[in-house]
Amino acid sequence: MEIQWYPGHMTKAKRQMQEDLKLIDLIIELLDARVPAASRNPDISALGRGKSRLFILNKADLADERVTEEWEERFREDGVPVMTVDSRNRADLRSLRPYINEACKERIERNIRRGFKNRPIRAMVAGIPNVGKSTFINTVAGRASTKTGNRPGVTKGKQWIHLGKGLDLLDTPGILWPKFEDPSVGTALALIGSISQDVLNRDELAVALIGFLVSQYPGTLEEHYGAEEGRTAAGLLASIAKARGCLTKGGELDDSKAADLLLDDFRNGRLGRISLERPGASMIGGGR
User: Are 162 and 143 within 8 A, CB to CB?
Assistant: no
Residue 23 DSSP class: T
Q: How far is the CB of 4 from ligand GDP (least distance, A)?
A: 19
User: How far apart, in Å, are the Cα atoms of 123 and each of 130, 167, 232, 288?
Assistant: 20, 8, 49, 40
* Interface with ligand GDP: number of residues (CB under 6 A): 15
- Please pick, from the candidates 1, 13, 14, 61, the single residue that binds ligand GDP as defined by CB under 6 A: 61
Q: How far is the CB of 52 from ligand GDP (least distance, A)?
A: 21
Angle at 120 between CA 119 and CA 123, to 5 degrees: 140
Q: How far is the CB of 9 from ligand GDP (least distance, A)?
A: 13
- Please pick, from the candidates 129, 183, 272, 285, the single residue that binds ligand GDP as defined by CB under 6 A: 129
Q: How far is the CB of 12 from ligand GDP (least distance, A)?
A: 16
| Beta-bridge partners for 31 | 57
Q: Is residue 152 helix, strand or coil?
A: coil
- Please pick, from the candidates 36, 48, 81, 132, the single residue that binds ligand GDP as defined by CB under 6 A: 132
Window contacting ligand GDP (CB under 6 A); options: 7-15, 83-91, 206-214, 244-252: 83-91
How far is residue 218 CA from its own chain's centroid? 25
Using CA atoms, how far apart are residues 140 and 152, in angstroms rounded to an integer? Answer: 25
Nearer to ligand GDP, 248 or 268 (CB): 268
Nearer to ligand GDP, 138 or 150 (CB): 138
Residue nearest to ligand GDP (CB): 132
Establish if 59 lies at the interface with ligand GDP (CB under 6 A): yes
CB atoms within 10 A of CB 122: 16
Strands 174-175 and 121-127: parallel
| Chain residues in the site for ligand GDP (CB under 6 A) | 58-59, 61-62, 86-88, 127, 129-135
